[in-house]
Amino acid sequence: GFLKKRLKEYGLVTPISTDSEGHFLSHLLSANHKQRVRRDVSLGFQLKNEQLFFNITAFGREFHLRLRPNERLVAPGAMVEWHDERELLKTDCTFIGDITDVPGASVAINNCDGLAGMIRTDSEEYFIEPLEKGTQEHEEHGRVHVVYRRSPELDAPGALDGIVKQVNRTVRKRRHSGDDDYNIEVLLGVDDSVVRFHGKEHVQNYLLTLMNIVNEIYHDDSLGVHINVVLVRMIMLGYAKSISLIERGNPSRSLENVCRWAFVQQKADPEHSEHHDHAIFLTRQGFGPTGMQGYAPVTGMCHPVRSCTLNHEDGFSSAFVVAHETGHVLGMEHDGQGNRCGDETTMGSVMAPLVQAAFHRYHWSMCSGQELKRYINSYDCLLDDPFTHDWPQIPELPGINYSMDEQCRFDFGVGYKICTSFRTFDPCKQLWCSHPDNPYFCKTKKGPPLDGTECAPGKWCYKGHCMWKNANQVKQDGSWGAWTKFGSCSRSCGTGIRFRTRQCNNPVPSNGGQDCSGVNYEYQLCNTDDCPRHFEDFRAQQCQQRNANFEFQNTKHHWLPYEHPDANKRCHLYCQSKETGDVAYMKQLLHDGTRCSYKDPYSICVRGECVKVGCDREIGSNKVEDRCGVCGGDNSHCRTVKGTFTRTPKKAGYLKMFLIPPGARHVIIQEHEASPHILAVKNQATGHYILNGKGEEVKSRSFIDLGVQWEYITEDGVETLSTDGPLHDAVVVLVIPQDNETRSALMYKYIIHEDSVPINNNNVIQEDVYEWALKSWSQCSRPCAGGFQFTKYGCRKKGDNKMVHRSYCDVSKKPKPIRRMCNFQDCAQPQWIAEEWEHCTKTCGSVGYQIRTVRCMQLLHEGTNRSVHSKYCSGVKPESRRPCNRLPCPAQWRTGPWSECSVTCGEGVERRSVTCKIGDQCSGERPEATRPCKPGPCHGKARKSSTACYFLQTLIRSVTTSIPNHSQTHCKINDLHHPLLQA
């Protein structure tokens, strides 16, 4: 078997079942005997959750094993999925324990079929398994096992059939994560090419080790965000499904297939233990051009179809490919492509276009950290805690279980081993491998062996060096150092940002220790006063700086500010060409302190993220301005200015119409009627034309100028210009005449603070002001013994205090409900209350009944009452149903339907059956059984028959009778035929 090939020293033993003192009980070992034999102490089986004891003598030593069920190895209901088949993992024959009188020993045993597993002491390790599988039925007379021995200095085997993995105690993943932790719950899909390469019995432990490395990469403090990679489900695909998903040479289609497959696997219930946030798919098939290692959508995390990656599995170094592709899904771009971090790629940055990271040399670039922080808050699916699963604990140093030969096989294929044609000074610097067929041709992936890989007797690789194994080399969690002083402000006026930072160096995390939790920088607003000169648009300045050096489509442009419609990209610098209207991404973030949106004058961009700032200039504040700019105001100081200005041009050139003052908001300028003239607007202070300057094309558009967003519409000869404002400078409204005959009539309207209304302006309109007012109290939550009620608010018009529809009031300013207690009086004892009986369902017979309503009622104040649960009423509940009119019903005559008339013309007879229902004691007159009928007069030569003859059969109670003396009579009817009548 597997063990025999790996370990040369072995012996044959016959284990026995004993009691706690080591006394012989029986030879029965396997758990399945519990199903076939009586549970008797003499048979050596204890009840569930109790200990088992076995004696084993091997290599001159006797071991008394004390075992207990390993209840933390497999989660309740956990499933293993192979080739689309699911079955429950066995949990009733997995045990862990120790050895009597051997301190520090540990045991992991599976007794589904004999004893199989590992026995570890301080000095040696033993592996035990039955000599022959599947012979449990012969255990009564003793069953031979083989025990192998290896010292810790020898190469450790890989995964041992899922049994050796248990020797390290299993730990339950944290149910509660740190407040600053994000958790990517992963569905790991593995195709048949990976399973066949590693072997079904070893692949699970290999995958756990691989994902552990990915997790450690995301724990590197250079990332700046603490992310846990949590495995919640693992699916091994069969051959047919594997080749259907991967389309060779087509990475885009292959990724699409994998993402669709992962979407189908998703559990609909987000609380399901197997619900995943992200899918990682591993394959050894070639899905792209030579050298392509992975493929993933950017910013797809938490999306039901786009949160997935396709990765080429090629040994443990594939962990960096998985981390790289998952980084794309989290929103990270390649270093040096669209950011300023190209110089970090040669130092092993994870997001380098060509992955150069290795186990001894990797980090996340500054740009990767910034890009992650830009998006991480939008990934809500990463906020919940990891689901509880029991997985084997992976060693802190991943190379402990894998020799250099095994890592060569993972990297280059079957047969590859450590290169022996030349000796390096330190084998931990780079892993060199060769094949026995060509031992002098050595290959490397330019990375070192895994930390923990044995490099010499008593030594292992650590950070690229062969070092003595150190028992004290334990994990050191990191701790924060002191904060620096706040730096300089990003702006001299108009609200800027300043930062202070700290480093995780007190101490630095080492040996797999945890990074510091929390953020490594803080910021605060600074220089919040408005700039003293006329307003300058900070975003516009950044676009203008690109005029000289940014080429778009091989041409330089005059760049204007542009606000991206996607809220997640509003802190990215996008600019619009004045010449062509094209929008271009400048491949950088907006400077700290730039306003996120022209519709929000206070929220600002900080390191690529929009930070909410209230009008009180406090971070996180929800305070907003009213319609005329009063912070937290109620519009009571707002004034609406509205008017119409008409002029007829006398000469060519711009014709001044009117002025709109600074501070105006919600501005609308519109032609009163269709006109050939053209509307124009300019800044009074600078003379800069905002709309339709000389040489500009007249067309509908949305644009940004004077620090606000404008909407210009020209349709059917009527022009309209609007903006929410506020205007930072006064603007002059003009008209460009197209003839000297047509007059120009412009309507304008804006809202402004009462202190800024122009002097001698007679166009001020007093607009209605509305406020929230107390309307009533809600119904009390309890009718007695003290309840609660809350205020109900309605919308009130301030001018006349009349209540109006709530849509007139600002919902954001609605007061919070006030609570008060009510109905303090004691509750009366509920009593049974019965209503009147309803009518009986029958007048006679044996099934009549009548019902009434019976309720448990509680008397309330003012003579009212309420129905409560019947458990609150004492005494026996009055009956709600009783029998009635249970009397014999009198006998009655029953009649059948009338037959057809005995003739088709002339005079005939109709007949029916008459019977007595319920015996033969019917009272009253018997209903008639016959009656005359006349279908109509007879016509033609036929004469009325002098003799009428009828054949009548009457069917009563299934007995056929006939009219006496007529049943066999044949009469001559003189050419008039009569029908046979049946009744």
Q: How many CB atoms sit inside 10 A of residue 570's CB? A: 23
Among 172, 687, 136, 137, which Cα is nearest to 385's?
Answer: 172
pLDDT tens, position by position, 819-851: 999 888 888 888 999 999 999 999 888 899 999
Give dist(CA 280, CA 230) in Å, integer. Answer: 12
Summarize the annotated binding site for Ca(2+) as residue ranges. 185, 277, 381, 384
Residue 763 class from Cβ within 10 Å (0-12 exposed, 13-18 middle, 19+ buried)? middle
Please answer whether residues 311 and 321 qualify as being in contact, where contact means their C-beta atoms are separated by less than 8 angstroms: yes
The CATH number that applies at residue 522 is 2.20.100.10
Residue type, 267: K
Set 125, 274, 325, 371: catalytic member: 325
* Best CA proximity match to 538, nearest among 593, 581, 577, 500: 593
Distance of CA 493 to the CA centre of its chain: 42
One domain for residues 600 and 722: no
In the three-class reduction of DSSP (H, G, I as helix; E, B as strand; rest coil), residue 483 is classed as: coil
- Written as six digits, the tokens of 570 are 């509003």
Compute φ and ψ for 5, nearest 5 degrees.
-75, -30
Residue 562 lies in a domain: yes
Mean confidence (pLDDT) of the chain? 79
81 catalytic, yes or no?
no
Do 486 and 603 share a domain, yes or no?
A: no
Domain limit, last residue, from 695, 720, 748:
748
Report yes or no on 216 lying in a domain. Answer: yes
| 91 belongs to a structural domain | yes
pLDDT at residue 792, rounded to an integer: 92
Cβ–Cβ < 8 Å for 369, 223: yes
User: Which residue type sits at 475?
Assistant: K
Task: Report the number of distinct structural domains present in the chain.
Answer: 7
Residue 770 covered by a domain: no
Q: Is residue 756 part of a domain?
A: no
Lowest mean pLDDT among 50-59, 306-315, 324-333, 925-934: 50-59
651/696 same-domain check: yes
Please report which confidence band the pLDDT of residue 122 belongs to, taking 50, 70 and 90 as the band edges: low
Q: Do 239 and 360 share a domain, yes or no?
A: yes
pLDDT, tens only, 419-466: 988 777 678 988 999 999 998 899 888 888 988 899 988 888 888 888
- Domain of 191: which CATH number? 3.40.390.10
Question: Mean per-residue pLDDT for 647-674?
Answer: 87
Query: Based on the domain organization, do 572 and 497 belong to the same domain?
Result: no
Q: How confident is the model at residue 358 (pLDDT cuts 50, 70, 90)?
A: low
Cα distance between residue 357 and residue 217, in whole Å:
10
Question: Is residue 154's pLDDT more than 50?
Answer: no
User: In the predicted model, is pLDDT for residue 963 greater than 70?
Assistant: no
Domain end marker among 394, 425, 451: 394
Collect all residues with Cβ–Cβ distance below 8 Å to 802 and sequence separation of at least 6. Answer: 796
Same domain membership, residue 84 and residue 9:
yes
Q: Which residue has the higher pLDDT, 821 or 401?
A: 821
User: Does 264 share its domain with 385?
Assistant: yes
pLDDT at 110: 66
Segment (H or E) for 777: strand 770-777
Backbone phi, psi, residue 656, to 5°: -70, 135
| Coil/strand/helix, residue 815 | coil
Q: What range does the domain containing 454 cover?
A: 399-468
Q: What residue numbers does the annotated binding site for Zn(2+) cover?
A: 324, 328, 334
- What CATH number does residue 426 fall under? 3.40.1620.60
Query: Encoding tokens for residue 686?
Result: 């600078």
Q: What is the mean pLDDT of residues 197-217?
A: 80
Where among 698, 727, 748 does a domain terminate? Answer: 748
Helix (H, G, I), strand (E, B) or coil at 66: strand
pLDDT (tens digit per residue) in 516-552: 888 888 888 998 888 877 677 889 999 988 888 788 8
pLDDT-based confidence at residue 338 (cuts at 50, 70, 90): confident
pLDDT digits (tens, 9 = 90+) for 863-903: 788 888 888 898 899 999 999 999 888 888 889 999 999 99
Look at residue 502 and tell me if it is in a domain: yes
| Same-domain pairing of 417 and 496 | no
* Cβ-Cβ contacts under 8 Å for 485 (sequence gap 6 or more): 500
- Same domain, yes or no: 80 and 208: no
Beta bridge partners of 522: 500
The string of DSSP codes covering 361-407 is B-B--HHHHHHHHHHGGG-GGGSSPPPP-EEPPPPSSGGGG--HHHH
Task: Please check whether residues 425 and 367 belong to one and the same domain.
Answer: no
Give CA–CA dist 242/190, Å, rounded: 9
Residue 845, sorted as left (phi over 0), alpha (psi -120 to 50) or beta, turns out to be: left
Q: Residues comprising the binding site?
A: 185, 277, 324, 328, 334, 381, 384
| CB neighbours of residue 148 within 10 Å | 20
What is the number of residues in the chain?
Answer: 983
Question: 149 and 83 in one domain?
Answer: yes
Report how far residue 362's alpha carbon sits from residue 193's, in angstroms, rounded to the nearest whole number. 28
Q: Which of 76, 82, 64, 84 is nearest to 19 (CA)?
A: 64
What are the residues whose beta carbons fall under 8 Å from the beta carbon of 667, sequence distance 6 or more? 660, 721, 722, 723, 725, 727, 748, 749, 750
Nearest to 851 by CA among 806, 891, 882: 882
Assess if residue 246 is contained within a domain. Answer: yes
34/147 same-domain check: yes
The answer to whether 121 and 99 are in contact (CB under 8 A) is yes
Cα 32–chain centre separation? 42
The mean-pLDDT minimum among 6-15, 144-153, 409-418, 945-954 falls in 945-954
Distance CA 474, CA 23 (A): 41
- The answer to whether residues 310 and 188 touch, using CB atoms and an 8 Å cutoff, is no
**% residues pLDDT > 70 (the chain):** 81
Strands 85-88 and 278-283, sheet pairing: unpaired
Predicted pLDDT at 675: 85
968 assigned to some structural domain: yes
Q: Is the pLDDT of residue 49 over 60?
A: no
Using CA atoms, how far apart are residues 21 and 18, in angstroms rounded to an integer?
7
Instruction: Locate 929 and state its tokens.
Output: 């059984």
**Spatial CA neighbour of 571 closest among 529, 549, 547, 542:** 542
Cβ atoms 315, 210 nearer than 8 A = no
Question: In sequence order, what are the beta bridge partners of 526?
Answer: 496
Residue 718: CATH number of its domain: 2.60.120.830
Provide the Cα torsion 39, 40, 42, 47; round to 10°: 60
Helix (H) or strand (E) holding 544: helix 538-544
Which residues, including other chains, have CB under 8 Å from residue 634's CB and lie 6 or more apart? 626, 769, 771, 813
Burial class from Cβ neighbours inside 10 Å (0-12, 13-18, 19+) for residue 792 reads exposed
* Report field, pTM of the whole predicted structure over 0.85: no
